[in-house]
């Protein structure tokens, strides 16, 4: 839902969003023709974020709740054959990874290649990672390990793994009974630290800010803000919400906190934060949804997304639950 809500606002600033849509976006719109990536999509249709997330979920299901770098590589190649997604939405690290996979390179190591700090440090590994947390409910360590494996073909760096691990660990803990936002934030921080260490030791260390520390900062900004709009603007100004994983992932956690974990208001905040809105909303919404479940999701909005994309989300959830490894 967050991905679809953020598709028409992507790459715009907060003020541009409000001017273009007449205020805060709280319903699904068809992306305007000046949208750089999502133009041509219908209202309620999702983008690369959810399409890859669903395909990754199917890969986990096919693996009985486990994942391999080869399975992720095969998924990425299959995704690249979808003309409605790949030409318009593929990010820099994902494009590079798919080209290398098709050239026969080892998917275990592709994501660690490169010398520039931006390579493998974008948010593409984190945007799709929710299934790694969903198959490891209450087990953030298991979620982190699974997240690291998914990053090997595309984002196997200290920053890339840290980002994916933060979201996966947060989703894992969000599934626990009686969980609080503090628990979820702590899980995201711990998982980000673990992921950074895995990426640095086994992949490639890249220079950049600590995702764990920036998650803490984003949460502090959210708590200190007097209202959701103020928190959203402060997070946009201080943390950023762009393509770099060190912006998008902390922003997602901060907006989750600012919205009190409410699934709909979390994705509304993220869809209006500006920049990479669809990705931030997809990640933040995944955590909020895991925390509160379908009962807290507006059923009319849920129905809109299912109809617009022709997917049976409930069936996917049931099959994913069947292969989960509860702690």
276 is in an annotated binding site: yes
Q: Which residue blocks in 111-180 are alpha helix, DSSP H?
A: 124-127, 130-134, 140-151, 158-174
CB 211 within 8 A of CB 192: yes
**Four-CA torsion 181, 186, 187, 189, nearest 10 degrees:** 130
Nearest to 274 by CA among 4, 8, 1, 39: 8
Is 180 marked as binding a ligand? no
Name residues whose C-beta falls within 8 Å of residue 114's C-beta, 6 or more positions apart in sequence: 96, 120, 204
47 labeled binding residue: yes
CB 54 within 8 A of CB 311: yes
Asked if residue 177 belongs to a known ligand binding site, the reply is no
Could you tell me if 160 and 121 are in contact, meaning their C-beta atoms sit under 8 angstroms apart? yes
> Could you tell me which of 298, 255, 291, 299 has the C-alpha nearest to residue 273?
255
Annotated binding-site ranges: 47-49, 276, 278-279
Annotated binding-site ranges for Mg(2+): 47-49, 276, 278-279
């Amino acid at each position: 839902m967050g991905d679809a809500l953020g598709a028409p606002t992507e790459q715009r600033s907060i003020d541009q969003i409000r001017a273009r849509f007449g205020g805060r976006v709280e319903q699904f719109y068809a992306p305007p023709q000046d949208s750089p990536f999502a133009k041509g999509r219908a209202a309620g249709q999702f983008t690369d974020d959810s399409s890859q997330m669903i395909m990754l979920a199917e890969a986990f299901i096919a693996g009985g709740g486990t994942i391999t770098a080869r399975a992720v590589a095969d998924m990425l190649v299959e995704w690249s054959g979808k003309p409605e997604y790949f030409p318009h939405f593929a990010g820099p690290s994902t494009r590079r990874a798919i080209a290398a996979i098709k050239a026969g390179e080892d998917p275990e190591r592709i994501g660690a290649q490169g010398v520039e700090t931006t390579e493998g440090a974008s948010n593409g590994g984190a945007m799709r990672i929710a299934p790694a947390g969903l198959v490891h409910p209450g087990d953030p360590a298991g979620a982190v390990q699974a997240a690291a494996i998914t990053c090997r073909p595309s984002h196997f760096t200290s920053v890339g793994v840290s980002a994916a691990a933060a979201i996966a660990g947060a989703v894992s803990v969000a599934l626990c009974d009686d969980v609080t936002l503090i628990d979820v934030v702590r899980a995201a921080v711990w998982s980000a630290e673990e992921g950074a260490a895995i990426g640095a030791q086994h992949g490639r260390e890249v220079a950049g800010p600590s995702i764990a520390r920036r998650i803490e900062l984003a949460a502090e900004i959210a708590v200190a803000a007097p209202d959701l709009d103020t928190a959203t603007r402060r997070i946009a100004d201080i943390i950023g919400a762009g393509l770099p994983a060190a912006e998008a992932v902390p922003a997602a956690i901060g907006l989750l906190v600012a919205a009190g974990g409410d699934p709909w208001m979390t994705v509304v905040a993220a869809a209006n934060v500006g920049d990479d809105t669809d990705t931030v909303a997809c990640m933040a919404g995944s955590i909020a949804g895991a925390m509160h479940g379908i009962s807290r999701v507006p059923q009319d909005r849920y129905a809109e997304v299912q109809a617009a994309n022709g997917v049976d989300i409930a069936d996917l959830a049931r099959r994913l639950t069947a292969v989960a490894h509860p702690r």
